Chain A
Amino acid sequence: MATRNANIGKSVDWFTIVLYAILVVCGWFSICGASYDFTNHDFFSFATRPGKQLVWIGCATLLGIVLLNIEKKYYELLAYPVYVAFIVLLVVTIFIAPDTKGSHSWLVFGPVKVQPAEFAKFATALALGKLMSSYNYSIGKRSDFIKTLAIIVLPMLLIVAQSETGSALVYLAFFLVLYREGMTGSLLLVGVCAVVFFVLGISLGGKTFTDMPVDTGMFVVLLLVPLITALMLSIYAHDGRRAAVVLLSALGATLAAYLTSRFFVPFNICIVQIIVCVLIFLYLLIVYAVERMPRYVLIGIFALGSVGYYYSCDYVFNNVLEDYQQARIRVTLGVDVDDKGVGYNVNQSKIAIGSGGLFGKGFLKGTQTKLDYVPEQATDFIFCTIGEEKGFVGSVAVLLLFGAFILRLLVLAERQGTNRFARIYGYSIVCILTLHLLINIGMVLGLTPVIGIPLPFFSYGGSSLWGFTIMIAIFLRMDAERSVR
């Protein structure tokens, strides 16, 4: 043990630690910028957010050092107990946490508030790694897959029960890990298609296509369906010939319908498109009858299902969702502009970032963030401060840092090789960080819906910082042992 400890300094991946340190320091300065209101210069007092964050950073550093010195075998050993402990904690939290802006996710210890959901992520990652590295595990096996799903979904549900939907969404990152570990990509593809169809259907819906009685959203979605069906045929059935048949006949039929509508009788082209999709389905059924390969049926079901999905989305959006939910989605997708109501946060956030220009207004000189125009500026909307004070150059630098950091972790995860536990754990970190980045900065830039999750290392708060620090420290320890061996 003593020798190992002596070696940890040498074998640990310093590159990651340096990137981590830079991110944390940049984060602290951003918090200074976000908390400063042109009068208070005392960043080191514990009464201020920068002062507190300094303490959290100190604690995080200590925590990291301690965790780096615990052998990997203990993590492997304790994976399940830790996971179970956090599940219990999450359950308890639902009941004992006070109401904080409608959510029950914060445990209060005197002046300190802790959010267990932030820590449950690393526990889930450990458990997932443990499960998937167990002897004879195969993701293709139904029982194994169900266990895997259970590990992921259980904390998600508990967090949803705490009314922290945003944090729960982050657990979707684990599906990307599963993809890396052999889960069929078609599931991901279908998932992505579902999102794309939904977004296109809403954002382009309601607008007519040229001068014909055609809903643009519907037209585009119905055009994409045969294209993706053809793509699936070529990838999953390795049947380029039939893919070409589907592709060309769909495009041909659509073009013919378009020309007829344009120059002869204007009619709704979408009817032709739907017929095409149905024909594709029938065609693939026949192919299945000949080839006896179930994939053809599945792909056919995808084609027909997509059409059904589009219609049900349309129905759900217009008839099931509440008005405010519709509004929020429409504003996010850029269909509606509402700078005073639902869109206020995002609009102010865009103004703050946009007003930064190329080089920004300078440290502590941002006006939009200081004067309370941007909500949650020190926590969820911290990136605004960077955008406003550091400008394009600073914002891009931060993004590149994040990119480099995540890619470095990806490289580390990959080099765990046959050590599935460490690799799966590493990928979990990579995917969680990626999703945080996507949702948080996407929200601040007005690209994704407003979902309140922190930007790792930047957003003010101990729970988030400690959560990520623990995750990374444990992984670095695992990686260090790889080189020791």
Chain B
Amino acid sequence: MTGNFQYDNRKFVIGGIVIAIVAVFIVRLFSLQILSKDYKEQGDNNAFLNKTIYPSRGVIYDRQGKLLVFNQPAYDVLVCMREVKDLDTLAFCRALNMTQEMFDKRMADIKNITLNPGYSRYTDQVFLSQLTAEDIAQFNEQLYKFQGFTTRMRTIRQYNYPYAAHLLGDMGEVSKKDMAADEYYSRGDYIGKQGIESFYEKELRGQKGVEVLLRNAHGRIMEHYMDGAQDVEAVPGKDLTLSIDMELQALGERLMKNKIGSIVAIEPSTGEVLCMVSSPTFDPHDLIGRQRGANHLALSKDKRKPLLNRAIQGTYPPGSTFKTSQALTYLQEGIITPETLLPCTHGFVLGSLHVGCHDGYASWSVIPAIATSCNGFFCWGLYRMMSSSKFSNVQEAMTVWKDHMVDMGFGYKLGIDLPGEQRGFIPNAAYYDKVYKGSWKGQTIISIAIGQGEVTLTPLQIANLCSTIANRGYYIAPHVVREVHGGDLDSLYHTRHYTTVERRYYDIVVQGMRNAVLMGTCRSANTPFFEVCGKTGTAQNRGKDHSVFMGFAPKDDPKIAIAVFVENGGFGAVYGVPIGALMMEKYINGQLSEASEQKASDFEHRVIHYSDTER
């Protein structure tokens, strides 16, 4: 050993440096690869482009199997700003049939962060949407000239019939709220906005698929990752069969032309809605394609509110149709027996209170009272119930009354498979305590006995009442979808809901309604083909009375229960009864007789004039 001996331990310093370097690197690798998850995510964002594959949306059939709603291709023009180079705007505008100003405005709008919060130079932005196949064909031919622009096929809804717009609903781009509520959606997706499209969105939409594509550092798409092993196929949406009979719906819409109101028909045994007319209506074709925005705006500004589905969103005083529910309640509570006679002296007279009635001086039992729609009878009935010694006070009586009403499906949503259903209003004791500061009696609230006053129902609830009577005591929640292909209906839609009133009392009310057709207020509904039961209503309101009818047929094997509500149509017998009769005939016979056809076209052309301020 030479003089280097004294430096011998320096080999440990050098060896130590090597070991230290390796150790530091291992610690660093550990923190990068094991501890941090960010890099994995960033790496995936870098390299993978998840391209969404849109499933085809479920189509919609009516109860006869007629195709109502289907899909039609539409084309979007997309632009990726970063890639736009040497654009010949003149040729571009010509290819898309637009002016230079439109082009400039559109480009500016896309870049405007307030209008287009998701803007990025690096991703595709929608330049124009929903072009037709012809429009796009012309553009596609020249697409190679327009660097940075691409086209994308989407599908939009298309309709075979101009009817049932409210019911079918429409589609629109998802809102921020939609996206916040459900992670499934991303910007630019379509979602059902109204009607069945909205309520059955989850069934109809299916499941988006994804193609995992590789994207290199220059943004170029390379190919499918792992030859497509990570791709997820799109699951097509489920088709729906509606309980709606499109022919019946079409007739209903014809009959309601130039009138405001609604027709709802239900198959009593199943709760299936056979038609749901809301007038005024519009053509569902108006709310598809590029004209959607403008048309929607016009419809929403219309004073007659054609976008409102009055069948479930309009709440009206039910008028005399409500008397059937009162008869059932009085009978069930033992306030009256089928034989009890109650007086009518041109109505209900108690002290200074007088509720008028078209009947003269007479005493009626319940069956003829229903048939003639005697106000006096039902007012006395309610008066007796409210002052009955059976209850400790009027509040208790009111609570019992309210419970019967709620049980019949009033005052709450029936749970139809459509969005936006209104619940109507059934007052309760607490409500009257508040209004009358605790001092009220039967006579104070007497008008609810005849479906006036505070009581409001939707046309659907009236139809459901009729359906319950036709079933003699139960109903199944009304619904418009009969079958989800490859799926199940909510159990609500095949569960019988029995009311608190016994069947024998329903038989009495049925007899009353039958008599109304045979010899009472709705004689014009009588037909030799089948036994019709009915009840008119003439609902008072600020303007002219509403014309109401509810009925079902045939009496002993009901196929259809119907409610007709014509705003300001006057007596029930004027519009309600004939329209209801035509609808029942059409549904049960499958067609209208010649005379009925004549009548239908007469009603189709009847116009009720409404003032602009009324609605």
Chain A contacts to B: CB under 8 angstroms: 37-39, 176, 179-182, 185, 348, 350-358, 367-368, 370-373, 387-388, 391-392, 395-396, 399-400, 402-403, 406-407, 410, 414, 417-418, 420, 427, 430-431, 434, 437-438, 441-442, 445, 447
Contact = CB atoms under 8 A, between A and B. Distances in A.
Nearest to A355: B43
Nearest to A447: B28
Contacts of B216: 370-373
Contacts of B36: 354
Nearest to B43: A355
B431 interface: no
Interface stretch (B6-14, B245-253, B307-315, B460-468): B6-14
Interface stretch (B18-26, B118-126, B527-535, B567-575): B18-26
Contacts of B40: 354-355, 357
B42 interface: yes
A474 to B, nearest CB: 20
A447 B24 contact: yes
Contacts of B22: 399-400, 402-403, 437
Nearest to A400: B22
Contact of B39 (A350, A399, A441): A350
A351 B42 contact: yes
A391 B2 CA distance: 47
Contacts of B13: 179, 185
A185 B14 CA distance: 12
A354 B39 contact: yes
Q: Which 4 A/B pairs are nearest by Cβ-Cβ distance? A: A354-B39, A355-B43, A367-B47, A371-B216
B542 interface: no
Contacts of B42: 351, 354-355
B602 interface: no
B7 A181 contact: yes
B14 A396 contact: no
B39 A351 contact: yes
Nearest to B30: A392
Secondary structure call for the A interface: helix
B218 A418 contact: no
Contact of B43 (A37, A367, A391, A399): A367
B29 A396 contact: yes
A445 B28 contact: yes
Contacts of A367: 43, 46-48, 214, 225
Contact of B14 (A176, A368, A391): A176
B4 interface: yes
A322 B562 CA distance: 87
Contacts of A445: 25, 28-29, 32
A26 to B, nearest CB: 16
A357 B218 contact: no
B11 A414 contact: yes
Contacts of A368: 43, 46-47
A410 B17 CA distance: 12
B46 A371 contact: yes
A349 B318 CA distance: 74
Given A372-B218, A399-B26, A438-B21, A410 B15 contact: yes
B18 A387 contact: no
Contacts of A420: 2, 4
B222 interface: yes
Contacts of A410: 11, 14-15, 18
A421 B223 CA distance: 57
15 contacts: A38-B222, A179-B10, A185-B13, A351-B42, A355-B43, A371-B47, A371-B216, A373-B217, A396-B29, A403-B22, A407-B18, A417-B1, A430-B14, A434-B21, A442-B25
Interface residues of B, number: 42
A427 B14 CA distance: 9
B215 interface: yes
Given A367-B214, A371-B222, A354 B26 contact: no
Given A176-B14, A357-B34, A372 B21 contact: no
A459 B214 CA distance: 26
Given A176-B14, A407-B15, A391 B33 contact: yes
B134 interface: no
Contacts of B25: 399, 441-442, 445, 447
Interface string B209-234: 00000111110001101000000000
Nearest to A357: B33
B38 interface: yes
B44 interface: yes
A387 B47 contact: no
A437 to B, nearest CB: 6
Contacts of B214: 38, 367, 371
Given A371-B214, A371-B216, A373-B47, A396 B223 contact: no
Contacts of B215: 371
A371 B222 CA distance: 9
Contacts of B46: 348, 351, 367-368, 371, 373
Given A351-B39, A371-B222, A358 B11 contact: no
Nearest to B29: A395
B24 A418 contact: no
Contacts of A373: 46-47, 216-217
Contacts of B15: 407, 410
Nearest to A179: B10
Contacts of B29: 353, 387, 392, 395-396, 399, 445
A434 B64 CA distance: 83
A39 B30 CA distance: 32
Nearest to A442: B25
A326 to B, nearest CB: 24
Contacts of A402: 22
A373 B21 CA distance: 27
A137 to B, nearest CB: 11
Contact of B34 (A358, A427, A434, A441): A358
B33 A403 contact: no
Given A368-B43, A373-B217, A437 B21 contact: yes
Contacts of A371: 46-47, 214-217, 222
B7 A351 contact: no
A353 B18 contact: no
A447 B32 CA distance: 12
Contacts of B47: 367-368, 371, 373
A395 B176 CA distance: 45
Interface string B266-286: 000000000000000000000
A354 B33 contact: yes
Contacts of A37: 222
A406 B16 CA distance: 11
A37 B217 CA distance: 12
B236 to A, nearest CB: 31
A353 B33 contact: yes
Contacts of B217: 348, 371-373
Given A354-B40, A441-B25, A418 B33 contact: no
A406 B21 CA distance: 12
Contact of B44 (A39, A355, A387, A437): A355
Nearest to A140: B3
Nearest to A354: B39
B32 A403 contact: no
Nearest to B26: A396
Contacts of B34: 357-358, 392
Interface centre among B2, B26, B29 (most CB of A within 10 A): B29
Interface string B300-343: 00000000000000000000000000000000000000000000
A181 B14 CA distance: 12
B33 A431 contact: no
Interface in B34-61: 34, 36, 38-40, 42-44, 46-48
Interface string B185-227: 0000000000000000000000000000011111000110100
Contacts of A387: 29, 32-33
A358 B33 contact: yes
A180 B33 contact: no
A350 B28 CA distance: 10
